[in-house]
Amino acid sequence: MELSVNLCGITLDNPIIPASGTFGYGYEFAELYDINVLGTFSFKGTTRETRYGNPTPRIAECTGGLLNAVGLQNPGVDRVISEELPKMRQVFHKPVMANVSGFSIDEYVEVVSKLDKVEDIGWIEVNISCPNVHGGGMSFGTDPVCAGEVTKAVRRVTEKPLVIKLSPNVTDITQIARAVESEGADAVSLINTLVGMRINLNTRKPILANRTGGFSGSAVFPVALNMVNKVYNAVKIPVVGMGGVSSAEDVLEMMMAGATAVEIGSMNLVNPYACKEIIEDLPKVMAKYRVDKLTDIIGGVI
């Protein structure tokens, strides 16, 4: 069985990538298993300044998934480079994916330009689709012109493969995908979370202090699969698929829909061994469905 894939010129031993915000900087999970079994992982969303995130409560359970409104809590790009990445290097020895968020084009540019100088960062994933913060994130990702402007600006300051993370909270996600492709994106990743809400029946108030949050988990998988397939057929650059993936079978579906690699998010919060177990299950699931090489099935839905 051949599990390896090539994402923007870099070979992954397998297509499994823990998604940003669900895997920290890797070293907590490294206490549980050797995280070098992963293809790579996308580390926590990074902004220019330290962010403490949204007020609590900022997590709410719901059928088939969860809502989160963490709000991009992170130590800021300078401390990520000086404190978090040295600890990560002790436990992870492959190129890593850096995830970047911002509240202005200038912020995206500054953060990307700093991360561009870090040798062991293989890809830069630019998040223009976060629904949990006000005045940034998703506001760039719901308009093709704005999405293109961010992509064009960060393209100028990095030679690393540029992956633009797209929002599902749009009428036509293919418009956004084409816009970022035209401005120099090397790949797109999708979907980020859907906007959701829960209400406390006793207080008659939203459960989340932020009122709304990002809905993720197995319930969103069919939505994600459809959008990945649409984008795969709309652009010529690779697609990284994510959204509700929870099994090796889901990985095969996502790749048949058009994904070159597959990010796994909420399942890491439910089961910290999820990615390891999916990687271990892949060969037998491939055998069951007569798949010798994963690359043979990318976009192979009939």
Tokens 């992170």 belong to residue: 74
Paired strand residues for 123:
97
Say whether 130 is catalytic: yes
- Which residues have a Cβ under 8 Å from the Cβ of 192 and sit 6 or more positions away? 127, 129, 130, 131, 138, 141, 165, 166, 167, 168, 214
Q: Phi, psi at residue 180, to the nearest 5°?
A: -75, -30
By DSSP bridging, strand 239-241 and strand 259-264 are parallel
In this structure, which amino acid lies at residue 125? E
Secondary-structure breakdown of the chain: helix, strand, coil percentages, each rounded to the nearest 5: 35, 20, 45
Of 284, 244, 277, the residue nearest 262 (C-alpha)? 244
Tokens 């959701």 belong to residue: 196
Catalytic residue among 8, 62, 130, 146: 130
What are the DSSP E strand ranges found in the chain? 5-7, 10-12, 16-18, 59-62, 65-68, 96-100, 121-127, 162-165, 187-190, 194-196, 199-200, 205-206, 213-216, 239-241, 259-264
Catalytic site residues?
A: 130
